[in-house]
Structure 1
Amino acid sequence: MKGLLRIFRPSKKLLIILVAVLILNAAAGGAAYYFGFIGGHAETGVAEKPNGLACTDVNLVTIKHADRLWVRKFIRTESTDGLTRVKTALRVARAVYQAQKDHPDLVQVVVLDQNGPTLRSDMRGRAIAADIIYAPHPDDILKNLGQKTFTARYFDSGPALNGEFFGDRVELPEDKIEAMNAALTESTDCVDPTVVAATDKKGAEAHGGEKGGKGKEAGAHGEASAESHAEGESSDHGGREKPADGHEEPVKEVKAEH
């Protein structure tokens, strides 16, 4: 038995290597826990970018039926992760709800990729990166249809070149959605590209008008300078003016010879 122990007795070098590997594994696990829990809340996405990303309006559909108002809004964001898209949709849903004079009974926000489809008929299926449904006050009818206050789904993958998604589709539990909604610090809507284009056009026209005005001023200034220059030349060529009294030019005295 002692002979066997001597044969399998590890060397000091091997022990040092094993201890080093164990220390590295412990450090990696601690770092993953720290950055996952403290820095990012990867599971709920609350701590990092709680309001999501900037977005662009695509389409807004309003449905009125039987004294009910449903609003569906399509938006675009740049490429990001699924939870950030959900947070963006929650923020926009809050903005849409607050902006409507008659608060809607249901708000749905559909998030598309920046390279996603442009035709309304193609904005479905794998083109939908994420979508949320917000029913502020689900009544008996909505509850009978299984509608909760919040519903959120997203694709856990990046977009393809055509803006479609082919990963797993994740449906978030309502308590996590409520936590993300409670962490929102603002309720900003998306940017309307038509408004931005109109503003840029007005700015360009105003800038062009200023340039035209400066050109006219420069032309008038040039004409005035030319006229004054012409008048000066005509004075000089027309004759030399006499000095004023008391300031006549000195005359050289010549002594007479005796």
Structure 2
Amino acid sequence: MAAAKRQLFKLFRVSRKLALLSGGFLFVLGASGTAALVFAPANMIPGFQEETRGHCKTVYQSEFRRGKEKRLIAVISGNDLDPKDRVKTGLRVARHLSETINPDLVIVQVADHRGPATRAELRGSAIGAEIVYAPVPTRSLAVSQPWEVRYVNTVPTSAGYYFGKRVDMPQADIEALAHEIELIEGCDGDLVDEDAKAVAAGGHGEPAKPAGH
């Protein structure tokens, strides 16, 4: 009898993991179209390790101008699995770049550390989140509010790609998530290895868009 119970428990564990992997994060409520963002806790994702959350490294960074605007784009690679943590890392880095470089517009794109590492490949499904930040929105023609956040609502594959639905995050949810950030700082990987930061002078290309954009 005990052996049968153990076998049944093993089957339950497998089905539970499958359910977590196949579960969605976005639920649409009511006819008004209001979206409630529900993130699965990171520690519920198989293979997640609490101590690895929030690490990142700059892959590409460039300052450029659009008319009178000073803009900055940075692509960072990180190891956040949970979409909420991926967005928080991007928000943190966007604030850091804004406060240290003072551009009118900051664009931070978040890739997975196991994914592509060259600028040409960092687009489409290689980008898991995009954060746009304008400290003073009236100084930029690109936005009408301080934050814009888009992310792919899935965990990355083992090869570092994101295949899932793209979500545009409401302003109120962005601000609530930003308030959870305790320390505004750049990528810790840049402090360890400064050569990892590929900074192109005078870049003029448009940023890549997350999958599904």
**TM-score normalised by structure 2 residue count:** 0.63
1:177/1:107 Cα in 2 relative to 1: closer, same or farther (>3 Å)? same
Whichever structure has more strand as a proportion of its residues is 2
Q: Distance in 2 between matches of 1:181 and 1:121?
A: 30
Q: Distance in 2 between matches of 1:64 and 1:128?
A: 23
**Shift, 1:172, TM fit:** 0.7
Amino acid aligned to 1:92: V
In the alignment, structure 1 segments of 5+ residues that lack a partner are 1-41, 198-258
Corresponding residue number in structure 2 for 1:91: 92
CA contact (8 A) 1:83 1:154 kept: no
- Greater RCO between the two (CA within 8 Å, min separation 6)? 2
Q: Does 1:56 align with 2:51?
A: no
CA contact (8 A) 1:44 1:176 kept: no
**Shift, 1:164, TM fit:** 1.2
Amino acid aligned to 2:98: Y
The alignment of Structure 1 onto Structure 2 pairs a total of residues equal to 149
Q: Distance in 1 between matches of 2:93 and 2:133?
A: 11
Q: Distance in 2 between matches of 1:139 and 1:107?
A: 14
The one-character-per-residue Cα deviations of 1:70-108 (angstroms, maximum 9, x if unpaired) are 0111111114111110000000011111111xx111001
- Which stretch of the first structure deviates more once superposed, 148-157 or 105-114? 148-157
Q: Distance in 1 between matches of 2:98 and 2:134?
A: 10
**Shift, 1:140, TM fit:** 7.0
Corresponding residue number in structure 2 for 1:117: 116
SS in 2 for 1:188: coil
Corresponding residue number in structure 1 for 2:186: 189
The one-character-per-residue Cα deviations of 1:46-65 (angstroms, maximum 9, x if unpaired) are xx99xx61211111011123
SS in 1 for 2:90: helix
CA contact (8 A) 2:107 2:130 kept: yes
**Shift, 1:163, TM fit:** 1.4
Percent same amino acid among aligned pairs? 33
SS in 2 for 1:175: helix
SS in 2 for 1:125: coil
- Return the index of the structure with the highest Cα Rg: 1
Corresponding residue number in structure 2 for 1:157: 154
SS in 1 for 2:193: helix
1:189/1:84 Cα in 2 relative to 1: closer, same or farther (>3 Å)? same
1:44/1:158 Cα in 2 relative to 1: closer, same or farther (>3 Å)? closer
SS in 1 for 2:185: coil
SS in 2 for 1:120: coil
4+ long deviations beyond 4 Å = none
SS in 1 for 2:74: strand
Question: Among 154, 169, 172, which residue is 1:172 paired with?
Answer: 169
The one-character-per-residue Cα deviations of 1:176-212 (angstroms, maximum 9, x if unpaired) are 0011112221111002153388xxxxxxxxxxxxxxx
Q: Which residues in structure 2 correspond to 1:35-50 (within 5 Å)?
A: 43=38
The one-character-per-residue Cα deviations of 1:7-26 (angstroms, maximum 9, x if unpaired) are xxxxxxxxxxxxxxxxxxxx
The one-character-per-residue Cα deviations of 1:132-163 (angstroms, maximum 9, x if unpaired) are 10011111762xx5542111111111222321
Q: Distance in 2 between matches of 1:43 and 1:89?
A: 18
Whichever structure has more helix as a proportion of its residues is 1
- Provide the alpha-carbon RMSD of the alignment: 2.6
Q: Distance in 2 between matches of 1:69 and 1:175?
A: 26
Q: Which residues in structure 2 correspond to 1:162-241 (within 5 Å)?
A: 162-190=159-187, 191-192=189-190, 194-195=193-194
CA contact (8 A) 2:105 2:132 kept: yes
In the alignment, structure 2 segments of 5+ residues that lack a partner are 1-36, 44-49, 197-213
**TM-score normalised by structure 1 residue count:** 0.52
SS in 1 for 2:70: strand
Q: Distance in 2 between matches of 1:75 and 1:141?
A: 23
